[in-house]
């Protein structure tokens, strides 16, 4: 396939501009380019065909199965796109007067109310634009809370199976992370928690279900231990797809939680974004939320800056609005009863895959999982095959690989999340492919070592690619 620069021909263009009908004002010489911008010159049909063809080479959830563990790459209903493309939403500007954006403010307010009800927490901000920014927001609120109490706590506990963004959020918020080990069941070591939870520790970041897809059975004991020492507990909401309609984090003792609207409520986030990471908090943390929050009075919705102990802003303006529109559409379409069915289906699908493959691969922590499960390719190492080889071979079947080598507490990890939106036929297809690959490990291991074989780009020398990184096209 030719690059767009290779399609380029001098003087060719795909646009037509009207004659200038306003006074011409030239940019000052000091601000002008010395040479023309090196842009490709192509016609409209060429550029359309190029990017359509390019998109067909990429993997996406509309194309085939995307079992990316801990990322909830569920199908994005096209009605989401219809609502997000409504001119009244799409053409808004964040600096418009409140009176001209009442519909958008109402949608955001109602979305916040839905989120509060789902987790049973009374305060919410929609401002964070990603899950990691939601983490940072929540832990920054913890920091400001203890500052207000004149309680100079310095540490946050993080389980060893946590998402990598957790320790980053802790550091950026001014705390220091302490690793909390797992027990032999892959759950939080409660005894170690009691030992580590001192008066110097501000709280705990917990993912539940954890990154092994296991529900923390002692969750109320865990939150109780932290609270008894005056600490706060944050729930990493990345795995909320397993809890919807079944249990509410506020009932389990969590003080704050972030949502991934772009995961839990559709809108897959492949390619790096955009995202949305709202945060819900308890009553005693509401006064620390970022400003503004959205409120209403006498039938009018408005941006409320009256948040006495606010941490300030964490994002320009009010977050990624069109992701909120998609999540709102999804929630209105699904309804309360639909939320519970989402989690039940996600849990059933994950267990169906894991139990079907546990004899072909290794299940480090036996038993039933929640919405995702973690297998291991450790026993394939005897044949010289790595988990990476399995992931690359899956591409030959038109399937995206699961998350590999995470969580770190499982050697040669294969983290699989089928989500709630996949059919049994799709799951059976994936299971059969995984079994075929397992057979190839014994019969023809070189086939896996050299995979993929039929993709536009074959296996790269990743070390060379990192050392000799080239991001700019040159002739």
**Rounded Cα gap, residues 161 and 163, in angstroms:** 7
What mean pLDDT do residues 289-315 have? 95
Q: Is 332 exposed, middle or buried (0-12, 13-18, 19+ CB in 10 A)?
A: middle
User: The tokens 């296996």 sit on which residue?
Assistant: 459
Could you give the percent of the chain with pLDDT greater than 90? 82
What is the pLDDT, as a whole number, of residue 475? Answer: 72
**Angle CA(81)–CA(82)–CA(84) in degrees, nearest 5?**
60
Assess contact for 373 and 350: CB atoms under 8 A.
Answer: yes
Q: What are the start and end residues of each CATH 3.90.1150.10 domain in the chain?
A: 343-465
Q: What dihedral angle (degrees, nearest 10) is formed by the CA atoms of 186, 190, 195, 199? A: 110
List pLDDT tens digits, range 123-161: 999 999 999 999 999 999 999 999 999 999 999 999 998
Q: What are the start and end residues of each CATH 3.40.640.10 domain in the chain?
A: 80-334
Domain 343-465, architecture per CATH = Alpha-Beta Complex (3.90)
**Rounded Cα gap, residues 70 and 50, in angstroms:** 33
List pLDDT tens digits, range 245-280: 999 999 999 999 999 999 999 987 766 668 999 999
pTM above 0.85, yes or no: yes
CA distances from 292 to 232, 321, 376, 404 (A): 24, 14, 46, 39
Domain 80-334, architecture per CATH = 3-Layer(aba) Sandwich (3.40)
What is the pLDDT, as a whole number, of residue 461? Answer: 85
């Amino acid at each position: 396939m030719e690059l767009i620069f290779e399609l380029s021909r001098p003087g060719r263009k795909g646009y037509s501009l009207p004659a200038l009908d306003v006074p011409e004002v030239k940019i000052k010489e000091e601000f002008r380019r010395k040479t023309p911008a090196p842009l490709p010159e192509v016609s409209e049909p060429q550029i359309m065909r190029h990017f359509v063809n390019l998109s067909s080479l990429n993997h996406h959830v509309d194309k085939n199965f995307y079992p990316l563990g801990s990322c909830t790459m569920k199908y994005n209903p096209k009605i989401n796109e219809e609502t997000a493309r409504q001119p009244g939403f799409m053409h808004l500007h964040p600096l418009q007067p409140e009176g001209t954006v009442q519909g958008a403010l109402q949608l955001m307010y109602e979305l916040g109310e839905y989120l509060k009800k789902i987790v049973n927490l009374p305060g919410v901000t929609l401002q964070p634009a990603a899950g990691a920014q939601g983490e940072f927001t929540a832990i920054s609120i913890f920091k400001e809370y203890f500052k207000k109490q004149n309680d100079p706590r310095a540490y946050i506990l993080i389980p060893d199976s946590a998402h990598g963004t957790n320790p980053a959020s802790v550091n950026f918020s001014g705390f220091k992370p302490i690793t909390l080990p797992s027990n032999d069941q892959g759950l939080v070591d409660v005894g170690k928690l009691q030992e580590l939870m001192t008066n110097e520790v501000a709280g705990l970041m917990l993912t539940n279900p954890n990154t092994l897809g296991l529900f923390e059975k002692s969750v109320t004991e865990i939150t109780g231990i932290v609270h008894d020492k005056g600490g706060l507990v944050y729930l990493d909401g990345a795995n909320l797809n397993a809890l919807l309609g079944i249990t509410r984090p506020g009932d389990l003792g969590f003080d704050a939680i972030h949502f991934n609207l772009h995961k839990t409520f559709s809108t897959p986030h492949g390619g790096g974004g955009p995202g949305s990471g709202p945060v819900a908090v308890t009553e005693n943390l509401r006064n620390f939320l970022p400003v503004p929050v959205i409120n209403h009075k006498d039938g009018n919705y408005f941006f409320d800056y009256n948040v006495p102990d606010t941490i300030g802003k964490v994002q320009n303006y009010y977050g990624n609005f069109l992701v909120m529109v998609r999540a709102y559409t999804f929630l209105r379409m699904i309804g309360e009863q639909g939320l519970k069915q989402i989690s039940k289906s996600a849990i059933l699908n994950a267990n169906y895959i894991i139990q079907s493959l546990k004899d072909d691969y290794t299940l480090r922590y036996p038993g039933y999982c929640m919405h995702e499960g973690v297998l291991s390719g450790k026993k394939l190492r005897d044949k010289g095959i790595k988990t990476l080889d399995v992931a690359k071979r899956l591409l030959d079947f038109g399937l995206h690989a699961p998350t590999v080598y995470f969580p770190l507490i499982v050697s040669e990890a294969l983290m699989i999340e089928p989500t709630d939106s996949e059919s049994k036929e799709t799951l059976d297809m994936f299971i059969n492919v995984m079994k075929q690959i397992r057979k190839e490990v014994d019969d023809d291991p070189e086939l896996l070592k050299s995979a993929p074989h039929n993709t536009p780009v074959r296996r790269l020398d990743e070390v060379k690619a990192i050392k000799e990184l080239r991001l700019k096209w040159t002739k």
